[in-house]
Amino acid sequence: MEEKYINLLKEKCTKENFEKLMALDNSYLHKFIEKYIEHCNPSSIFVRTDHPDDAQYARDKAIENGEEMKLAIKGHTNHFDSYYDQGRDKESTKYLLSPGVELGKNINSIDKETGLSEIYGYLKNSMEGKEAYICFFCLGPVNSIFSIPGVQITDSSYVVHSEGILYRSGYQEFKRIANSDKFFKIVHSAGELEGNVCKNTDKRKIYIDLDNFTVYSANTQYAGNTVGFKKLSLRLAIHKAAAEGWLAEHMLILGVNGPSNRTTYFTGAFPSACGKTSTAMLEGESIAGDDLAYLRKKDGKIYAANVECGIFGIIKDVNPKDDPLIWKVLNSPGDVIFSNVLIAKDNQPYWLCDGRNIPDKGINFSGNWFKGKKDNENNEILHAHPNARYTVSLYSLENCDPKLDDPDGFEIKGIIYGGRDSDTLVPVQQSFDWVHGVITMGAALESETTAATLGKVGVRTFNPMSNLDFVAIPIGQYIQSHLDFASDIKNPPSIFAVNYFQKDKEGNFMTGMNDKHVWIKWMELRVNGDVEAIETPTGYIPKYEDLKILFKEVLNKEYEKNDYEEQFRLRIPENIKKLERIEDIYRTKVDNTPNILFQVLNEQKQRLIKVAKEITTCCT
């Protein structure tokens, strides 16, 4: 190790923190730390190991420096982001690509040399006068086939606090990998602060270097842009997984209880506002993950592990009736971070649609707030932001799966894809096989927009595997990776499609909010061979008799035959239009689409046409 580096660390570290770094004998790690400590130029360094005292130090610092404020309940804090820093910045999040490298037409990128010059400019001396935190975490359970160690350098104690809730500590994991370069690297600076929030959000940049597995983030505090091990590292993991033959997915992991005390595990991918969290939190089942999953093969089976051990969830609509388990955590002592909610004079947090009376005034992401307050563009400022969040540990939930940290992960029996669809898909169906499911349910995933998001209802957005925003390889290659993944598995997981948003001709939802529990329970029985199914041109659907029993057992609700017949009616014209939409996208907007995709879509289309002809012949 160069003497210059040692002197730099000794200058900025206490003896204890210096010894923490020296205990990690990894030349790749030390070169990374040396480069960015020298470049960002903090006044001091704190090294977060796996020790609980280090986690407490970050929590205390977040209060001390004003990034968080204490709330009424012990252990609860609140963080505010800038008024203009309230969500993931897709436009400013770009891949750094070398000349000749292409990821596809719809993937945001910048020339690598240009991007590095730009981000280095923003990071230069960005930590001057501030403390830098060097943090070690592990993505996935430690000491397992899923483990990916990661190091982050940041000047935000809020980011360190958040990551301490969301991820498993990884200092010992770095000791385990010795002098390996197989780890993720994150560099973040909030930049210049004004009132403890980012001043220069117009210069916000989030750049991703896939070659060096490094994420850069500057002039932002919002966790989706700064907690580098979340969606930013998902992009790194997708790139890594494609090269190594596994999958990194935007998926929940759910344990479903079945007969004879068995538990069957499913993963599931849902675009925003399509029921992902409510599925992960089904009453009476166990949550093993709400957002990110790694899938690997072992002994001829597929296993999944939660990348995280916490939840960074949207708090809007969380209320005691619909979300009793989360509500209990949010109202009990413990390590909880609220962000961008309203803090009233009672030092309690309030958020949108929480079922409580809204205080007349308080403090929120806009500063001092009062009812009727408007911004500079004359738009009313709500008491809490629609994207306000809560950060909690999964271990604090009563329904947390006891195998969350199992290094072997969870054996997966089923994979679920769900979108928002008013008029085409049935509530639940099973694919014929792995290839059929990957193509017609995963690669063909769509979701309708809502008035609450874009102001126009019913616009179908294409979102293969609910992962389009994070795909770090060409989409055609991404689809092929899924097809190849289970090609050598004798009995791969069954693939299902669900649709919780069917509507009748009058625009009313045809299924209840809790009916999803029945569809999930049917899947559990189906993958274990306990129930038969009806073959249709698009997949297998449940028998009425089985659903009738489940509705009574699960929801204590009668299920009428006419409801079943309408919900599971094959909508031939709508299904054909969907197939044509998807085919057009893959032919015109996706490079190197596997030919089998078009073959499988056409086979399904021909099955639908055949049934339509049979119906016409029968009726005439």
Question: What is the strand order of the sheet 361-364 is part of?
Answer: 349-350, 342-343, 361-364, 367-370
Reported as half-sphere exposure (CB side, CA atoms, 13 A), residue 339 has a value of: 28
User: What distance lies between CA 344 and its chain's CA centroid?
Assistant: 30
**C-alpha span between 198 and 547 (Å, rounded):** 53
Active site residue 274: yes
**In sequence order, what DSSP letters do the residues of 89-139 get, joined into one string?**
-TTTEEEEE-TT----TTS-EEEHHHHHHHHHHHHTTTTTTSEEEEEEEEE
Q: Which of the residues 40, 138, 274, 309 is marked catalytic? A: 274
> Under a CB-based contact definition with an 8 Å cutoff, are residues 250 and 236 in contact?
no
User: What SS3 state is found at 305?
Assistant: strand
**C-alpha span between 428 and 417 (Å, rounded):** 10
**In sequence order, what DSSP letters do the residues of 39-65 get, joined into one string?**
HH--SEEEEE-SSHHHHHHHHHHHHHT
Residue among 337, 70, 353, 323 at smallest CA distance from 223? 337
Please tell me what DSSP assigns to residue 442. I
Residue 541 burial (C-beta neighbours within 10 Å; 0-12, 13-18, 19+): buried
In the block, residue with structure tokens 């604090």: 396
Q: Please state the φ and ψ torsions of residue 26, each to the nearest 5 degrees.
A: -135, 105
Please tell me what DSSP assigns to residue 371. T
> Under a CB-based contact definition with an 8 Å cutoff, are residues 146 and 179 in contact?
no
Catalytic residue positions, numbered:
274
